[in-house]
Amino acid sequence: MSEKFCIFCGKEPKNKNLEHVIPQWLIRMAGVEKKTVFAPHPNLGRNISFMHFSFPACTECNSKYSKMEAAVKPVLERVLAGQSINGADASLLMDWFDKVRIGLWLSNMFYDPVLKHNVHPHYHIDYGVAKKDRLLSIQKLNLEEGKNKGIYCGGTMTHLFNYCPTAFTMLINDYYFFNASTHNLVSPRVGFPKVVNACPLNDITGVMEIDVVENERKKVVNPIVQNFIPNSESITFYQPIYRDFLSPKDDLPISNYVREHSYDTAKGLGGVFWQKGFVQKAKYLQKNEKISMKLKPAALPNLEADVLGFQNAVQSKTVFNTVETNFGVRMNQMALKFLEKQK
Ligand SMILES: [Zn+2]
């Protein structure tokens, strides 16, 4: 381990304790206490026990997020049991996936100091939760009894993920989760304000200058996220977020449509839209409106290929291209060719 930083705030940990990026309750729920997770390391990766896959954090930061973990646990339990959840639950679940995705990204830096030096992460979990548009697609799998069960993550070891942690997949026993978050992922096609002319002002700090325009379209258009076709048996949640654009000097007008389809306008938190399968058009889900998460089991998708292809598709639409991200795209293309040949 190299220089210590709090995984939540990025500062030197105050009253240091440890945060499990894959929480202990989930490790127990999935029955993987005795299993290992593959972590990057200079030269080679190495296997680390799930229970030891933990990182420095301030006591205060950690206790703040313990509350979130306590709140999300029953929601995830209901999803895995095929019971119903409401819009607020889906939004909270996506907060948690933001936390895990950013946590896994930062854990790569902990194990590889050279990588941390090169990437120079300019934000941490505190800044990465509910910050940009996001999607979460959930699928139940018909795995053979006793096979493939456990917790697996896909797409978090790619060069591109290290520089742009936009998308990853997670397998929790027989459930498959696909999670992604970036600007303009959802907003343009659900009638929310769009980012135009995003321009990186500083490659190191990641400070961006962005212009935001109101969306003329005041409705949902299928597919909401281009390059992402949900499985026919899945349920997918989409949430536009405009928090980044709200500042006292901004006079971004919030239309009545946006106001009526938001969970919290002061925080710039759009409402959740949901879709079963792909053919059915996505619908707005009220905060307290419940939907059933009963899903028909489907075949295991290609865990790596789906997410690598999506990471490249997202990257092709952003202005934030550097030597490293271009290299990451090429690495993903090579891996995709390799996976294609293995079929
Ligand atoms: Zn902290």
In the chain, domain spans? 17-342
CA of 56 to the centre of ligand 1 (A): 9
- In the chain, how many H helices and how many E strands? 9, 17
pLDDT for the residue numbered 244: 65
Report how far residue 38's alpha carbon sits from residue 163's, in angstroms, rounded to the nearest whole number. Answer: 19
**Which residues sit with Cβ closer than 5 angstroms to ligand 1, an ion?**
6, 8-9, 58, 61
pLDDT for the residue numbered 243: 72
pLDDT for the residue numbered 16: 87
Helix, strand or coil, per DSSP, at residue 339 = helix
Residues pairing with 212 in the sheet: 195
pLDDT for the residue numbered 216: 83
pLDDT for the residue numbered 217: 85
CA of 38 to the centre of ligand 1 (A): 25
pLDDT for the residue numbered 2: 42
Identify which of 140, 264, 241 has the alpha carbon closest to the alpha carbon of residue 192. 241
> What angle separates helix 323-342 from helix 303-317, to the nearest 10 degrees?
150
CA of 19 to the centre of ligand 1 (A): 11
For the chain, 343 residues long, the average pLDDT of each consecutive 10-residue run is: 78 91 92 80 70 91 94 97 98 97 92 85 87 95 76 91 94 94 92 78 60 83 90 96 63 83 92 94 96 94 88 85 91 93 81
Identify which of 39, 47, 4 has the alpha carbon closest to the alpha carbon of residue 21. 39
pLDDT for the residue numbered 277: 94
CA of 128 to the centre of ligand 1 (A): 14
pLDDT for the residue numbered 64: 92
pLDDT for the residue numbered 176: 94
pLDDT for the residue numbered 1: 40
pLDDT for the residue numbered 26: 94
